[in-house]
Amino acid sequence: MKKTVMDGNMAAAWGVRLSDVKVVPNFPITPQTELIETLARWKVNGEWNGEFVNLEGEHSVMSAAIAAEATGVRTFTASSSQGTLYMHEVMYVASGMRLPIVMVNVSRGLSAPITLWTDHNDMLAMRDSGWLMFFTHNNQEVLDSIIQAYKISEDKNVMLPTLINMEGFIQSYTREPVSIPDQKTVRKFLPKYKPHVVLNPDDPMCQGIGAMGKDYMKFRAQQHKAQLNALKKIKDVGKEFGKVFGRSYGLVEKYKTDDADFVFVSMGALSTTIKETVNRLRSEGKKVGLLRIRTYRPFPEKEIKKILKDVKTVAVIDNNVAPGYGGILYPEIKSALYGTDTIVSDFIVGLGGTHTGVSEFNSIYKNALKNKKSKRYWLL
């Protein structure tokens, strides 16, 4: 294992390379472009032995990923913003056919107006598509999550595609120290892909066939059960990864929550700033913690309730907005805490890369403490 400094796009490319991915359909879009440019350069230099397939748009990219994975080869792709939305229709096909594709979304706000910076709406627009969904907070987690995602998705009791999010610019173009695992060790952790169902001309079969009434219900029930099966698999794979590589992962990350009476709840890269805020408030004697949601689908409701059920005040940090309603994570946290006395307030922050630093999170802390009932805020 060697440690070097790299941005999030490079970290994702290393995750793909170490996972022995064989096909990468692609179409460039800022801020994802450098990820696929890295894979293209490695292909030309003979450093990565996979197929790099250029296509005319993201709808075709996901269609090609489905075709490649259905023939039994490990497949990866990536996109951002409007590009991810252009794939939306076909992403339901990938999960419905139970294809363990892995994709990275480099989160970028949706136009109009045009921004090149992050918010989570592109990722969260996929929340009902049947894909497993992970939010990373640093570049090491991007690399590690790709390797783990193949092992989770390819499990016979899961067999669903995985979508991994990193923040546009905040991670994609920010360089951080990242440990690159040894290839031989990764191959022991993630053995060669042995698909359970393969399209083969010598042994014909059908996928994505017509299903009416109860038949359709059965397929959807199986898909939902597979999501629930993934809850245990994600924890098991995260623990195994920790034993091998020294970095453990789970459904959530709790930070100084054991004795906390106030907890921030967040997803993504802003969690690193919130940790610093927690540290400073702790130094002032405040019992503050952070719950970072790493796995968004399947939703870790039991873990959330266990950690937050006795907390007095929760501030949900939403780096997204559902116009006409508010933050998207907020109602799911409220639902998980139904029946408790916890006051849950929602703060919409950081859209389009709007700076949200320690001083802003200090203000959130003070405002949330004043609430006698749950409230929603825009932090502009």
Two tokens, residue 46: 């003979």
- CB 58, CB 84: distance < 8 Å: yes
- pLDDT tens digits along 343-373: 999 999 999 999 999 999 999 999 999 999 9
- CB 42, CB 96: distance < 8 Å: no
User: Residue 204 has what pLDDT?
Assistant: 85
User: Residue 173 has what pLDDT?
Assistant: 96
Q: Which residue has the tokens 């059920």?
A: 309
| DSSP designation for 346 | E
Pick the CATH number of 2-245 from 3.40.50.300, 3.30.1330.40, 3.40.50.720, 3.40.50.970: 3.40.50.970
The Cα 49–Cα 46 span in angstroms is 7
Task: Report the candidate in 66, 327, 20 with the shortest Cα–Cα distance to residue 186.
Answer: 20
Would you give per-residue pLDDT tens digits along the chain (380 residues)? 899 999 999 999 999 999 999 999 999 999 999 999 999 999 999 999 999 999 999 999 999 999 999 999 999 999 999 999 999 999 999 999 999 999 999 999 999 999 999 999 999 999 999 999 999 999 999 999 999 999 999 999 999 999 999 999 999 999 999 999 999 999 999 999 999 888 888 888 888 888 998 999 999 999 999 999 999 999 999 999 999 999 999 999 999 999 999 999 999 999 999 999 999 999 999 999 999 999 999 999 999 999 999 999 999 999 999 999 999 999 999 999 999 999 999 999 999 999 999 999 999 999 999 999 989 998 75
Task: Report the candidate in 122, 129, 173 with the shortest Cα–Cα distance to residue 12.
Answer: 173
- CATH fold for the domain made of 252-378: Rossmann fold (3.40.50)
- Equal CATH topology for 2-245 and 252-378: yes
Identity of the amino acid at 261: D
- pLDDT tens digits along 131-150: 999 999 999 999 999 999 99
The Cα 251–Cα 249 span in angstroms is 7
The Cα 103–Cα 175 span in angstroms is 21
User: Residue 238 has what pLDDT?
Assistant: 98
- CB 155, CB 228: distance < 8 Å: no
Residue 92 Cα to chain centre, angstroms: 17
Task: Report the candidate in 212, 208, 210 with the shortest Cα–Cα distance to residue 199.
Answer: 208
| Domain extent listing, the chain | 2-245, 252-378
Q: Residue 228 half-sphere exposure, CB side, CA atoms within 13 Å? A: 7
Task: Report the candidate in 298, 305, 290 with the shortest Cα–Cα distance to residue 254.
Answer: 290
